[in-house]
Amino acid sequence: MAIKAYLYNKCDTCRKAKKWLQDEGVGFEEIPIVDAPPSKDELRSIWKASGLDLRKFFNVSGVQYRELGLKDKLPSMSEEEMLDLLASNGKLIKRPLIINNETVTLGFKADELEKAWGGK
């Protein structure tokens, strides 16, 4: 599977990651995370492949995260409820989210992208 990069064009972190991928010659399919967030089933697969706690997939600095009071609600939510919520609103997903069949990166840290996606 080719690399998919779920990005939001108004997000500085996403722009940095996109530039890094392009500068390193890493081919990827850009998907607008707000307009076309991953489905619940896709999110489940991504989450399982990542080995991360599902709560790490939430954009904790986002306005909607705060408006929904998710800091207090997430600890008592089931995995299914969290996946439903993430799939329903791309702005709730930590970004950039970059994936292929085996690898998942969340956020932008150049050293993590280098380790995961290589480059030139």
Place of tokens 């995370």: 33
Domain region containing 52: 4-117
For residue range 6-23, list pLDDT tens digits in order. 999 999 999 999 999 999
Torsion on CA atoms 67, 11, 51, 110, rounded to nearest 10: -140
CA distance 76 to 102: 29
For residue range 39-55, list pLDDT tens digits in order. 999 999 999 999 999 99
For residue range 55-107, list pLDDT tens digits in order. 999 999 999 999 999 999 999 999 999 999 999 999 999 999 999 988 999 99
DSSP 29-65: EEEETTTSPPPHHHHHHHHHHHTS-GGGGB-TTSHHH
Task: For residue 55, give the CATH number of its domain.
Answer: 3.40.30.10
Q: Is the pTM of this model over 0.75?
A: yes
CA distance 88 to 40: 8
Question: Number of structural domains, the chain?
Answer: 1
Cα angle for residues 97, 99, 101 (degrees, 5° grid):
155
